[in-house]
Amino acid sequence: MTVNRQCSSGLQACANVVSAIKSGFIDIGIGAGVESMTKGWGVANYEFSDRLSDFPEALDCTIPMGITSENVAEKFGGIFYFL
């Protein structure tokens, strides 16, 4: 299976494997991915609609993933454990 989310594809691939194992569809699997923040649509080169400010919740979607990862690391101390 191929997962293409433009962001977090590798994490989604791992979640898909875990789900398939837990549901009994497979016994073993490999989930992996490669991300490139310089490829794809890139927030820096994208022009957002002026109407975006009409939806405050949507403004979070304009934050680049690099900044989001820094914000998450600061909030949670930069230490993550995946099970």
Place of tokens 């022009």: 47
- Whole-model pTM: value is 0.50
| Closest alpha carbon to 34 in 18, 1, 64, 12 | 12
User: Which residues of the chain form beta strands (DSSP E)?
Assistant: none
Domain boundaries, the chain: 9-35+48-75
pLDDT in tens, 24-66: 999 999 988 877 665 555 445 566 777 777 888 887 777 777 7
- Which range has the top average pLDDT, 1-5, 20-24, 45-49? 20-24
Token reading at 70: 């820094």
Written as one string, the DSSP assignment of 55-72 is -GGGGGGGS-HHHHHHHH
* Residues belonging to the chain: 83
